[in-house]
């Protein structure tokens, strides 16, 4: 082989690759700019529709962080259960990323509809106009797809209309407003107190150990729904974080089984489970308990697994940046972010 021609071919291949990707087809990590008091944040509803009362609550929440709020053009639109048509919700997402005056994009709420948008998103627009996208639940679909396509760090955190408790605001400020190299995420004390009455709030170790890897994950139902798509979860060498609400143990079993088979959970570095709210079996159900189900599906993976971290459909929410390096201490039920999520 002519070595000079071979080198030219390799150089040409590199130039032909999409912006932000390398020879392994993995996007280069992009960290959004940190927030500052006085910044304008755009508020969108990319999934289900939202009422005026919740919108006003979201505005007050964000203003309490010292931010100014700009609602998206179509945020009050309604079409069935969605906040307008796919085209309207997509327009709001693109407009907010393109607007140079918007420092970050905060989802007003979750709810079904985000997965419908994924094939039509202009990922190059997002890659060239990076900014923090914040939300959880069904927003998992957007965080996952944007991370896969662009490498942009997204933030699994309270939506604008959530309850902004002191715990929630503390982590929003620590992670979105500060470029700290390391942040230890501690269990919220209210969750521990509630645990005396509700087993779903009791932190526990399913399999001991310490794991390091980049954070990926989100809502279990959405992660399962993305299986088989180009945006599906890739668990290998990652710390996978998972939460859900209102799913009976047999459905949790079904979705975890799907991720075991589709996302190869056995190759994950570790699993960090949040609070699975209202996921217990009914009194007369022929069913394993939620705890028994999680043990059955996750304890044999051979990796550290902890349940009960402070994220999920709960008031006290930490912030989990999708794509940055973290350490999970499953024995102590502790998660540490090893690098800043913003620049």
Give mean pLDDT in consecutive 10-residue pieces for the chain, a chain of 343 residues: 42 38 68 98 98 98 98 98 98 98 98 98 98 98 98 98 97 96 89 66 96 98 98 98 98 98 95 97 94 98 98 97 98 97 97
Confidence at residue 199, expressed as pLDDT on a 0 to 100 scale:
85
pLDDT value at residue 114? 98
Q: Within a 10 A sphere around the Cβ of 274, how many other Cβ atoms?
A: 28
Q: Which of 149, 232, 243, 247 is catalytic?
A: 243
Cβ neighbors of 122 (< 8 A, separation 6 or more) are 94
How many other CB atoms sit within 10 Å of the CB of residue 315?
16
pLDDT at residue 178, as a whole number: 94
Q: Is 243 a catalytic residue?
A: yes
Q: What is the pLDDT of residue 196?
A: 52
How many angstroms separate the CA atoms of 90 and 87, rounded? 5
Q: What is the pLDDT of residue 44?
A: 98
Catalytic residue among 48, 156, 310, 313: 313
DSSP at 64? T
Q: Is 137 a catalytic residue?
A: yes
Cβ distance 198 to 326 under 8 Å? Answer: no
Q: For 17-139, where are the alpha helices, taking DSSP H only?
A: 52-63, 86-98, 114-117, 123-128
Distance CA 158, CA 311 (A): 9
Q: Is residue 64 annotated as part of the catalytic site, yes or no? A: no
Give me the pLDDT at residue 26, please: 72
User: What is the pLDDT, as a whole number, of residue 191?
Assistant: 61
- The pLDDT score that the predictor gives to residue 8 is 38
pTM over 0.85: yes
């Amino acid at each position: 082989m002519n070595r000079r021609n071979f080198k030219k071919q390799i150089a040409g291949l590199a130039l032909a690759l999409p912006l932000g990707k390398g020879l392994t087809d993995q996007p280069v990590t992009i960290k959004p700019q940190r927030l500052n008091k006085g910044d304008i944040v755009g508020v969108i509803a990319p999934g289900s529709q939202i009422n005026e009362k919740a919108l006003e609550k979201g505005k007050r929440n964000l203003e309490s962080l010292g931010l100014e709020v700009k609602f998206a053009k179509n945020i009050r639109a309604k079409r069935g259960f969605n906040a307008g048509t796919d085209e309207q919700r997509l327009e709001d997402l693109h407009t907010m990323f393109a607007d140079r005056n918007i420092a970050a994009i905060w989802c007003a709420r979750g709810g079904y509809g985000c997965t419908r948008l994924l094939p039509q998103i202009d990922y190059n627009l997002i890659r060239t106009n990076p900014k923090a996208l914040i939300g959880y639940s069904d927003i998992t679909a957007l965080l996952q797809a944007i991370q896969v396509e662009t490498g942009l760090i997204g933030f699994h955190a309270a939506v604008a209309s959530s309850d902004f408790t002191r715990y929630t605001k503390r982590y929003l400020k620590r992670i979105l407003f500060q470029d700290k190299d390391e942040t230890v995420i501690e269990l919220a004390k209210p969750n521990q107190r509630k645990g005396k009455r509700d087993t779903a709030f009791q932190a526990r170790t399913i399999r001991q150990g310490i794991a390091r890897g980049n954070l990926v994950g989100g809502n279990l139902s959405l992660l399962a729904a993305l299986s088989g798509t180009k945006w599906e979860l890739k668990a290998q060498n990652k710390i996978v974080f998972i939460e859900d609400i209102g799913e009976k143990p047999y459905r949790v079993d079904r979705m975890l089984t799907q991720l075991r088979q589709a996302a190869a959970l056995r190759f994950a570095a570790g699993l960090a489970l949040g609070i699975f709210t209202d996921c217990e079996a009914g009194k007369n159900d022929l069913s394993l308990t939620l705890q028994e189900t999680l043990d059955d599906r996750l304890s044999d993976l051979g990796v550290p697994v902890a349940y009960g971290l402070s994220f999920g459909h709960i008031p006290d929410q930490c912030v989990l940046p999708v794509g940055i390096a973290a350490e999970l201490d499953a024995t102590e039920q502790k998660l540490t972010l090893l690098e800043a999520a913003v620049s």
